[in-house]
Every structure is written in structure tokens, then in C-alpha cells.
């Protein structure tokens, strides 16, 4: 049994898109997710906002629990002080939990705590632990956390809304992050989140991201399935899969 089965599963399949449902039409989400699953989507990105860490409020554990899907639930917590709240997200079925280093006073303790928790969907699966970094946050903050980490997400927009523009300096940050991880000899997945559209998704795949979050570019308009297929094909072509 591998040490981190989910990480190995994603590493083998990477780069993968993680479909962000912030701007989805919730009335038709169920059937759309089934079609996306058939099209090859593996990860579902849920943006949790509390109206404090970022201005908007979105969904919480009951919503995450209510979404019945075999897709892996990639839960991005943009909330103040997640330390005491994280249990309820695990209980709701999060497979991957990412917290913002800026939001949490005891972030190392939080990662340790997550590392001891059991995946509610499958006790053998484990939970992937991620850190998200805002565009203005130095990459070096991950160094003291590196032994407790499975993923680092670089925000390519400031957290708060879907549909913002990709910040170009993300590319340089991504390559420096890769360097930090390889110098530390750590197998950690790298994600990019925010502003990823049909026009730039191939570029982001070429930047060597393992997980590529794409939200409004999939759900805005009337053709989420077609958008999804476009995104998967673009990523596969760009990465030579």
C-alpha cells in the first residue's frame, strides 16, 4: 500500500484539471458532473469563502457533503483560522484540503492535525494537505512546512471571485517553486488556481503545473461539457500525454 495513494494517483495522471464550481448553475450541477466524469474529469474544486478572509461567502461542509460524486473533492478553504473548522470539512468528504498560509496563525499545527485525520470517503485513501499562496505572498513560507505538505497551490488571482485575469508573474513563481521543491527533494504536487481560460490553459500546462483549476471558463455560458473537453484536450496536447 503506497504511503500517499492519492498523491500517487494524481501524480500519474498529471497534469489534471480541477473543475471549479464557484460560478456553476447549481440547479444543473448533478447531471453536468456526471457528464464531466465521463469526459475524464477527476477533480472537483470547491471554493469555500467566509466573507472574512475574502469578501464573498460561498459554501461550507453541508454543500460539500451534498454533492454526491466519485470525483475527488478538492476543497480550497479561503476562511479565517481554519484550525478548528477543518474537522467538519473532512467529515463532509473532502479528499484534498488546501488552506491559505495567510489565514492561519498555527498553520504547521493545522497541517499536522490534517495528517492524522481519516478520509471520510475511504479510510485507505488519506487526505492530501495543501497550502495556497496569494500572489503577494513569498514562496519561502512553505519551507518550514515542507515535511507536512502534499500540495502547493499558487493563486494566479487574488482570492475572492471567479473570472479574474491571470497574473503573469505566476509563471516565474511557478518555476521558482519547482526549484525550491526539487532542492528540498520533496514530492509535492503543484497547482495553479485562478484566471485559467481556454486561451491560456495550454500555457499553464507547459509551465509544468500538476493541477490546473479552471472555473468560470468552464461554467460561464451554456456549454460546460464542451468547455471541459476543450480544457482536457488542451492540457493533454500541451503536456504530450
List the catalytic residues.
Answer: 47, 193
For residue 50, give the DSSP letter: B
User: Judged by CB under 6 A, does residue 196 bind ligand DX5?
Assistant: yes
Partner whose footprint covers residue 170, from Zn ion, ligand DX5, none (CB < 5 to 8 Å by kind) = none
| CA of residue 11 relative to chain centroid, distance | 14
Is residue 173 involved in binding Zn ion (CB under 5 A)? no
CB of 190 to Zn ion, least distance (A): 14
Q: Pick from 42, 76, 100, 129: which binds Zn ion (CB under 5 A)?
A: 76
Among ligand DX5, Zn ion, none, the one that 152 touches (CB under a kind-dependent 5 to 8 A) is none
135 binds ligand DX5 (CB under 6 A): no
Please report whether residue 47 would count as binding ligand DX5 according to CB under 6 A. Answer: yes
Determine, following the binding rule CB under 5 A, whether residue 74 of this chain makes contact with Zn ion.
Answer: no
Nearer to ligand DX5, 118 or 223 (CB): 223
CA-based Rg of the chain, rounded to a whole angstrom?
Answer: 16
**Which stretches does DSSP call E strand in the chain?**
16-20, 43-49, 72-78, 96-100, 128-133, 151-155, 189-193, 211-214
> By the 8 A CB rule, do 128 and 104 touch?
no
8 Å CB contact between 16 and 42: yes
Rounded (5°) CA angle 208-213-216: 135
For ligand DX5, the binding residues (CB under 6 A) are 20, 22, 45, 47, 76, 157, 159-160, 162-164, 193-196, 213-217
Amino acid at each position: 500500500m503506497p504511503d500517499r495513494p492519492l498523491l500517487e494517483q494524481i501524480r500519474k495522471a498529471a497534469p489534471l484539471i480541477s473543475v471549479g464550481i464557484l460560478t456553476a448553475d447549481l440547479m444543473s450541477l448533478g447531471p453536468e458532473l456526471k457528464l464531466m466524469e465521463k469526459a475524464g474529469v477527476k477533480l472537483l474544486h470547491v471554493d469555500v469563502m467566509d466573507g472574512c478572509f475574502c469578501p464573498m461567502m460561498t459554501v461550507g461542509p453541508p454543500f460539500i457533503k451534498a454533492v454526491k460524486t466519485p470525483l475527488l473533492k478538492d476543497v480550497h478553504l479561503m476562511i479565517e483560522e481554519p484550525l478548528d473548522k477543518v474537522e467538519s470539512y473532512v467529515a463532509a468528504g473532502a479528499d484534498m484540503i488546501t488552506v491559505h498560509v495567510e489565514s492561519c496563525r498555527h498553520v504547521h499545527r493545522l497541517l499536522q492535525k490534517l495528517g492524522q485525520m481519516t478520509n471520510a470517503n475511504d479510510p485507505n485513501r488519506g487526505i492530501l494537505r495543501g497550502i495556497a499562496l496569494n500572489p503577494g505572498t513569498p514562496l519561502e513560507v512553505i519551507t518550514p512546512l515542507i515535511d507536512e505538505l502534499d500540495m502547493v497551490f499558487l493563486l494566479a488571482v487574488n482570492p475572492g471571485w471567479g473570472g479574474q485575469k491571470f497574473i503573469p508573474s505566476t509563471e516565474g513563481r511557478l518555476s521558482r517553486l519547482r526549484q525550491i521543491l526539487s532542492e528540498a527533494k520533496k514530492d509535492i504536487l503543484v497547482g495553479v488556481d485562478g484566471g485559467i481560460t481556454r486561451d491560456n490553459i495550454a500555457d499553464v500546462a507547459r509551465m509544468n503545473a500538476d493541477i490546473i483549476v479552471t472555473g468560470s471558463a468552464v461554467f460561464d455560458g451554456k456549454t460546460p461539457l464542451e468547455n471541459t473537453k476543450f480544457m482536457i484536450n488542451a492540457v493533454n496536447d500541451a503536456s504530450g500525454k
